[in-house]
Amino acid sequence: MNYLDRIVFLNGDYIPAKDAKLSIFDRGLLFADAVYEGLGLMDGKVADFELHMQRLERSLSELDMPNPLPRAQYLEVFQRLASENNIQDGFFYLQVTRGAADRNYLYSAEMTPNVFAFVQPQKPVKDRNTHLGVKMHAVPDLRWKRRDIKTTNLLGQVMAKKAAHDAGAFDALLVDADGRVTEAASRSFFIVKDNTIIAPPVTEEILHGITRQVIVKVADSEELNTVFRWFTLDEVFTADEAFLTGSSTTVVPVIQIDDNVIGNGQPGRIALRLREEYLAMTANS
């Protein structure tokens, strides 16, 4: 099914994607003045809905943007999109823009936001081979400084993904000017050393990943210790394990970064355990 034949949500209406359009004066298009969320759809269930809504509300609030819909309605939108398009596994995408106006950096507080959402199908996580581990490609982190706001200013990530793809890697690993490993182009990144999970601190310098947040709780319930601090690429290369988390991929073990093999080159024991726990938890939710 071509994506333009799917049914999408736009400002209250469920319409064919080919008819879903916004003005060229929309500030999402002119200034990337927009926030978004991506949520997993797993076996018909919307993963971590409340946490994604909390983050959406925070992103909107940081940008002085009103939330066009009450929280409960977003759940109805996602459920109807899955049902209308007959999709059981994949991801939901939701975007809110500040709205349309004559081009001016300054915005009016009275603007009407635009909101749209769609669902894209993907193989169920269990049917992908990501549990076998993936390779990554390290690149400089070119992004702006407010990475904690989930905005559509994503060209740095697009360029990193292109470089990773050209290098035959699953995702890019971003390293900032101070040599700190921040995260992947579209996922959170963890290392494990001596049975301790290490993750960057939750600051403005990283996206506050929802699956990351859930996985830290899962680790805690499994009596695994997690430490939040910055680490360098050298520390990654000597880690016992490394793994990614993301809403449409859950937990993915990382076995190599460019020419550097992580641990014994096999998916990490802790990464696989967290992945199983997360999938079991989602299946039972």
Active centre residues (catalytic): 150
CB 18 within 8 A of CB 5: yes
* CB nearer a copy of itself, residue 118 or residue 278: 118
122 binds a copy of itself per the rule CB under 8 A:
no
Mark out the alpha helices in 95-179 (DSSP H runs): 155-166
128 binds a copy of itself per the rule CB under 8 A:
no
Q: Report 66-95 residues binding a copy of itself (CB under 8 A).
A: 93, 95
From candidates 14, 29, 224, 233, binder to a copy of itself by CB under 8 A: 29
By CB under 8 A, which span of 73-81, 152-160, 221-229, 249-257 interacts with a copy of itself?
A: 152-160
From candidates 49, 74, 78, 118, binder to a copy of itself by CB under 8 A: 118
Beta pairing partners, 34:
97
142 binds a copy of itself per the rule CB under 8 A:
yes
135 binds a copy of itself per the rule CB under 8 A:
no
| Rounded Cα–Cα distance for residues 263 and 131 (Å) | 16
| Rounded Cα–Cα distance for residues 1 and 251 (Å) | 28
The nearest distance, CB 111 to a copy of itself, in angstroms, is 12
Look up residue 112 and give its amino acid. T
Burial class (CB in 10 A: 0-12, 13-18, 19+), 59: buried
How far are the Cα atoms of 56, 150, 164, 187 from residue 96, in angstroms, in the given order?
Answer: 9, 11, 28, 21
By CB under 8 A, which span of 66-74, 79-87, 157-165, 224-232 interacts with a copy of itself?
A: 157-165
The nearest distance, CB 186 to a copy of itself, in angstroms, is 6
The nearest distance, CB 167 to a copy of itself, in angstroms, is 13
In this structure, the number of other CB atoms found within 10 A of the CB of residue 256 comes to 18
Look up residue 248 and give its amino acid. S
228 binds a copy of itself per the rule CB under 8 A:
no
* CB nearer a copy of itself, residue 142 or residue 283: 142
198 binds a copy of itself per the rule CB under 8 A:
no
Burial 21-46 (b: 16+ CB within 10 A, else e): ebeeebbbebbebbbbbbbbbbeebb
Tokens read off for 122? 């993907």
The helix/strand/coil state of 54 is: helix
From candidates 102, 127, 223, 259, binder to a copy of itself by CB under 8 A: 102
CB contact set of 70 (below 8 Å; sequence gap of 6+) = none
24 binds a copy of itself per the rule CB under 8 A:
yes
The nearest distance, CB 272 to a copy of itself, in angstroms, is 26
162 binds a copy of itself per the rule CB under 8 A:
yes
| Rounded Cα–Cα distance for residues 146 and 128 (Å) | 33
Q: Which residues bind a copy of itself (CB under 8 A)?
A: 3-4, 8, 10, 17-18, 20-26, 28-34, 36, 63-64, 93, 95, 97, 101-103, 105-107, 116, 118, 120, 140, 142-146, 151-159, 161-162, 165, 185-186
